[in-house]
């Protein structure tokens, strides 16, 4: 199982959680790619990115939750890299069977992502467009790994999320029978 981790954080220098997660997997057997560092001018090398997708089995998109979605460069990546004839449409089955994992950090606390909470919807519901994207690409949308309330994480909890993240993305046996049904999460306890 070859894993590609695509990190999309517009300001890694100021990041606490995404940086800790990156550091936790730096020594793992994964290909680590920080999109904002690779493409500071926003010009994505589509052929290179498609080649990387082809040569890996599990794709992890690690990013902060931005307006219930992804940071702009990652949206641009979806728009430009997941092309017709490659990822979907006629002949577009090149990503078929590969795994898609969302690894997300949320400023909002877990109870806010519930019916009645101030964010109104669960992260699972809010991630539907991304799940649908994976589905159209014939990819297996695995249970997202989500950390909530990250602005107030203690050093211990930060270390715990990072270790849990490392374990999660290196687990070879994520449930393949129920893609999109599971919802792994980490919250302060």
Binding site for ligand FMN (CB under 6 A): 9, 15-18, 64-68, 105-108, 150
C-beta of 185: minimal distance to ligand FMN in Å? 13
Q: Which is nearer to ligand FMN, 40 or 67 (CB)?
A: 67
DSSP state of 129: H
C-beta of 6: minimal distance to ligand FMN in Å? 15
Helix (H, G, I), strand (E, B) or coil at 135: helix
Q: Which is nearer to ligand FMN, 92 or 108 (CB)?
A: 108
C-beta of 64: minimal distance to ligand FMN in Å? 3
Q: Which is nearer to ligand FMN, 33 or 94 (CB)?
A: 33
C-beta of 24: minimal distance to ligand FMN in Å? 13
C-beta of 65: minimal distance to ligand FMN in Å? 4
Structure tokens at 155: 């050093």
Helix (H, G, I), strand (E, B) or coil at 157: helix
Question: How far is Cα 165 from Cα 104, in angstroms, rounded to an integer?
Answer: 10
Q: Which is nearer to ligand FMN, 87 or 147 (CB)?
A: 147
Q: Which is nearer to ligand FMN, 64 or 180 (CB)?
A: 64
Phi and psi, residue 98, nearest 5°: -80, 155
Q: Which is nearer to ligand FMN, 9 or 166 (CB)?
A: 9
Place of tokens 């904002």: 36
Which uninterrupted H or E stretch holds 22? Answer: helix 17-25
Question: How far is Cα 20 from Cα 17, in angstroms, rounded to an integer?
Answer: 5
C-beta of 43: minimal distance to ligand FMN in Å? 22
Is residue 77 a contact partner of residue 8, using CB atoms and an 8 Å limit? yes
Report the alpha-carbon angle 11-62-64, nearest 5: 50
Question: How far is Cα 47 from Cα 55, in angstroms, rounded to an integer?
Answer: 12
């Amino acid at each position: 199982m070859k894993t590609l981790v695509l990190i999309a954080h517009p300001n890694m220098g100021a990041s606490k959680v995404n940086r800790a997660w990156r550091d936790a997997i730096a020594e793992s057997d994964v290909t680590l790619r920080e999109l904002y560092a690779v493409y500071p001018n926003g010009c994505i090398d589509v052929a290179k990115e498609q080649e990387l997708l082809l040569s890996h089995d599990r794709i992890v998109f690690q990013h902060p939750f931005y307006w219930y979605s992804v940071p702009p460069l990652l949206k641009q990546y979806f728009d430009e890299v997941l092309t017709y004839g490659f990822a979907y449409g006629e002949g577009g089955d090149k990503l078929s069977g590969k795994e898609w994992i969302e690894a997300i950090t949320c400023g909002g606390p877990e109870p806010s992502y519930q019916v009645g909470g101030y964010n109104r919807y669960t992260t699972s519901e809010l991630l539907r467009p991304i799940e649908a994207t994976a589905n159209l690409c014939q990819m297996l949308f695995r249970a997202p790994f989500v950390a909530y309330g990250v602005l107030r994480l203690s050093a211990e909890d930060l270390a715990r999320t990072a270790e849990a993240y490392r374990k999660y993305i290196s687990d070879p046996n994520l449930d393949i029978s129920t893609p999109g049904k599971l919802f792994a999460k980490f919250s302060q306890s």
